[in-house]
Structure 1
Amino acid sequence: MAKPIPTPDSQSGLAALQALIRERSPLAALQVFHARLGDVFRINLPGFTPVVLVGPRAARFVLTDGADNFRWRNERDPVTELLRHGVLVEDGESHDRLRALIGEAMPRAAFDRFVEIMVRRCDQVTATWPTEGVVDMLVEMRKITLLILLEALYRVDITRDLERLWRPILTLIRAISPGLWMLWRGAPRPGYDAARKAMAAYLFAI
């Protein structure tokens, strides 16, 4: 008989809220739930009751062993609204076809080129870091990721456009990251439409 999925009690909920306020990140609340409830738990939110799975076993189950039991597309998810179509938000034959296309673009023989791109782009970004002081690693890793992705898959160097596009990119990342939308679907998203248009224009151009 399957065990019921654990849900937070009032004390866990209070601890999670305190962590959320203290660190200003939903991830802090999730860490509290994970520590108290284990690798699988459910969060009861108004109109939204996600089940959270944590760890390598859970990742393998969701992405490989039990992948057929899950849907990639959720019409209420901000990622679906942003991307509309694509491997991250498609199911069934459409998802399989898109994954096959990605596989064709990333043959094993190309991995040496990918590694060279990764090393070079890491060097490019880290060369701009001050010898003393602090850098925001989340921001810097996002820059490196974009530089690598666009060169590896599209042979495009986004360096000259990165400064112009950085604000729209951050606006879209904030829109799809865990936040107020989880509680309020109509939460304001300042600059979202303009940011999406700017990124769409750039991507269509390449």
Structure 2
Amino acid sequence: MGERTTQPFALQLLDQLEPLANLSVVDVAAGTGGLAVAASERGASVLAVDFAPAMVERAEERLQQFHRSTAKVMDFIALDIADGSQDVAISNFGILAYPSWQGALKEMVRVIRPGGAIALTMWTNRDDCSPAHLLHRVFRQLFPNKDLWPPGLFPIFSPTALEKGLLRAGCVDVRVRTAQADWSPFSSNDVVRECDPMFRGFLVMLD
């Protein structure tokens, strides 16, 4: 369900980085590998990393058709990757969703070669710009004294604040732009079925 809403932005991100053929790319917080697959299709050698073993297992299955791409379990703030070994580091709706994003960004800077590129995406703070924002607004209306997810997830970034964070991490020639794409949800039944395990976890924390 998540990839249904994020993949259009992944493709726009890759368009900005073209040409990718024969470049080494690390996809941080890769999830189930939607961006990693798309980058591999464009000729990149992709290492997709995530801290969730089930996500990595699914990404590895999808990347098997690309002999130069793979997926591994890694901590975002302690990547098991050599300094300056990657041409491009990407995180599509990944590290910026976590309070530890600044540390993860520094790791991305560390692993790319001089003159390489870092590319990130995250929802803006506009109302209902993503399923997460819509869900949060409705939940807050129904349960004004409870939080939908743990504090610190999905921080709000203005373009200026994000640019300053990137510069602090060691990036240069920083460019922030707003991208747009349509997202269409599954049916209500599909959403409930896909999200039920996640919601159960949140409700335990809220009780």
Task: Return the TM-score normalized by structure 1.
Answer: 0.24
Higher helix fraction: Structure 1 or Structure 2?
1
Task: Return the TM-score normalized by structure 2.
Answer: 0.24
Q: Which structure has the larger Rg over C-alpha atoms? A: 1
Higher strand fraction: Structure 1 or Structure 2?
2
